[in-house]
Chains A and B, each alone.
Chain A
Amino acid sequence: MLHAEGVVKRFGRLEVLKGVSLEVKPREVVCVIGPSGSGKTTFIRCINHLEKIDAGRIEVNGHLIGYRERNGKLVEDTERNIARQRAEIGMVFQRFNLFPHKTALENVIEAPTHVRGVTKDQAARQGKALLERVGLADKFDTYPGKLSGGQQQRVAIARALAMNPALMLFDEPTSALDPEVIGEVLDVMKSLAIDMGTTMIVVTHEMGFAREAADRMVMMDDGRIIEEAPPAQFFDSPREERTKQFLSKIL
């Protein structure tokens, strides 16, 4: 599903990713943790090419993301091709990024109707089903400004799912939420992971969610992946000293 190999990303002189490699299989749920500045958010932003990469390669479903191979060298792909690749990858942002000038349902059907060319009726039917699935059956016509953070993030999840993505990326989806609404978002994510079998990469510090839903934990530090393990092993007997320190701080 995802094949990332030696991904390097620099912002000016600062090297944020120093060669990150990760394999994710279909239906697998991977949780990425690590201290701030470790490059975890940058890494998942590279997966749908919101950030260019300086070295390495990223493939989703066997397709090289953001670049084309020409004479053995990688050159950036066209806007249209990159857009087509991004349509297969859903992303949920820390700050929701709902379109404030559109209702919840309009947010959800925007991409299916305009990117995929699905008819408005059909998109609305699917959109309503998705909003019902995330528990917002009574909010179809509500604007984001009138929704709580938790509700907004659930709309954002429905919006990403509306494109039937092969892979879902979550960038700290609960970090900007009030504590009392974090649970409702995590419940939706759990049901995606466990009931629907969605392939997910989740950057999160919600260890309860990770333990329950993740197939694998990935620890990042200083632009590198330093440890990968199934949750039980990862939490109960981490191998790396750095991981132990980090876990002792957040648990």
Chain B
Amino acid sequence: MLAAVDWHILWQRIFHPDHVFVLALWRTIYISVCAQALGVLLGLIGALMRMSRFFPLRLLSGAYVLIFRGTPLIVQIFFVYFGANLLFGFTLIPRTVDFGLFQMDGAAFAGIVALGLNEGAYMREIIRAGIDAVDRGQMEAAKSLGMPYPMAMRRIVLPQATRFIIPPLGNEFNSMMKNSSLIFFIGVTELFGDAEIRYSTSFKPVEYFLAVAFWYLVLTTVWSLIQAQIERKLAVSERGDELSFRERVAAAWLPAAMRIRGTP
């Protein structure tokens, strides 16, 4: 069976990646990072809406999670990119999106939006659980000092909730990198798309898919190292070392960041 594998192709794909591949790898990374950032933002807004005293906001937040957690991601990707056009006959996301300073492939943009919307639904639950995990006395103490709710949330509760949010956030990002392969479906040549295109012209699925699996494994492994580093630093800080929160977050990132850049 194994004799059927063309080891040369596999070897080339892993040890001599060409520039097309590197571009695809880069797409996977930046799309995942942007989509995750969007997801965190939407999750935060959703979590705050969920805790609002104003019923319509709670309803909206609930509906958002219901829909985006309850339907397949690939369907969401399809509707974000083509939905407006097919349903209402207008183009929501053009072929090329112009941000003034730079331009972006419309499909990649749609991919980020769709992945971010989906991620936001999961992040809402994670962020809400993080906020719930902060002792209620913190909000009361802040209020008793005359802080209005938004200020108490921003300055007192959310910084403490971060500690509970970061570990599951790391897992979410791991999933995000792999889920981003689904946007190949709307024509973004990211890591998986690159493999798919090559396989379809060479009819060597085993080689190309094994190679792409290897590269996803590299991405997730690097990320889990960074994640472990961050969590270790945050755990140290819980024991009460004399660093400000901002310094601790910086310290948590710094060694990982230096390792990536290759500086000692």
Check A99–B138 contact: CB distance below 8 A: yes
Interface residues of A (CB under 8 A from B): 48, 50, 79-80, 83-84, 86-91, 93, 95, 97-101, 103, 110-111, 114-115, 141-146, 156, 159-160, 163
Check B147–A115 contact: CB distance below 8 A: yes
In the complex, chain B residues whose CB is within 8 Å of the CB of A48: 144
Say which residue of A95, A110, A163 sits within 8 Å of B155 (CB atoms).
Answer: A110
Check A83–B148 contact: CB distance below 8 A: yes
In the complex, chain B residues whose CB is within 8 Å of the CB of A93: 137, 140-141, 144
9 new A-B contacts, CB < 8 A, other than A87-B145, A103-B244, A141-B242, are: A50-B140, A83-B143, A83-B148, A93-B141, A97-B135, A101-B160, A110-B145, A142-B242, A163-B145
Interface centre among B145, B160, B240, B245 (most CB of A within 10 A): B145
Check B137–A111 contact: CB distance below 8 A: no
In the complex, chain A residues whose CB is within 8 Å of the CB of B159: 101
CA of A226 to CA of B6 in the docked complex: distance in angstroms? 91
B72 at the interface (CB under 8 A from A): no
Say which residue of A83, A142, A160 sits within 8 Å of B147 (CB atoms).
Answer: A83
CA of A86 to CA of B142 in the docked complex: distance in angstroms? 10
Check B141–A97 contact: CB distance below 8 A: yes
In the complex, chain A residues whose CB is within 8 Å of the CB of B143: 50, 83, 86
Check B144–A91 contact: CB distance below 8 A: yes
Report the 3 A-B pairs with minimum CB-CB distance, sorted nearest first.
A87-B146, A145-B240, A97-B141
In the complex, chain B residues whose CB is within 8 Å of the CB of A146: 240, 242
Min CB–CB distance B151 → chain A (angstroms): 6
CA of A99 to CA of B138 in the docked complex: distance in angstroms? 7
B239 at the interface (CB under 8 A from A): yes
With A83-B146, A110-B155 known as contacts, the answer to whether A143 contacts B240 (CB < 8 A) is yes
With A114-B155, A143-B240 known as contacts, the answer to whether A95 contacts B137 (CB < 8 A) is yes
Interface of B is mostly: helix
CA of A144 to CA of B156 in the docked complex: distance in angstroms? 14
B149 at the interface (CB under 8 A from A): yes
Number of A-B contacts (CB under 8 A): 75
CA of A59 to CA of B148 in the docked complex: distance in angstroms? 20
Check A97–B145 contact: CB distance below 8 A: no
In the complex, chain A residues whose CB is within 8 Å of the CB of B145: 86-87, 110-111, 115, 159-160, 163
In the complex, chain B residues whose CB is within 8 Å of the CB of A89: 144
In the complex, chain A residues whose CB is within 8 Å of the CB of B156: 99, 110
Min CB–CB distance A30 → chain B (angstroms): 18
Check A97–B138 contact: CB distance below 8 A: yes
Check A101–B146 contact: CB distance below 8 A: no
Give the residue name and chain of the A residue nearest to B134 (CB): A100
Min CB–CB distance B147 → chain A (angstroms): 6
CA of A91 to CA of B144 in the docked complex: distance in angstroms? 6
In the complex, chain B residues whose CB is within 8 Å of the CB of A86: 143-146
Say which residue of B141, B149, B155 sits within 8 Å of A79 (CB atoms).
Answer: B149
Min CB–CB distance B130 → chain A (angstroms): 14
In the complex, chain A residues whose CB is within 8 Å of the CB of B160: 99-101
Min CB–CB distance B245 → chain A (angstroms): 5
CA of A141 to CA of B239 in the docked complex: distance in angstroms? 16
In B184-204, the 8 Å CB interface with A consists of: none
CA of A74 to CA of B232 in the docked complex: distance in angstroms? 52
In the complex, chain B residues whose CB is within 8 Å of the CB of A142: 242
In the complex, chain B residues whose CB is within 8 Å of the CB of A159: 145
Give the residue name and chain of the B residue nearest to A112 (CB): B145
CA of A71 to CA of B148 in the docked complex: distance in angstroms? 27
Interface centre among A79, A87, A114, A146 (most CB of B within 10 A): A114
Interface centre among B141, B239, B240, B245 (most CB of A within 10 A): B141
CA of A141 to CA of B137 in the docked complex: distance in angstroms? 22
Check B146–A111 contact: CB distance below 8 A: yes
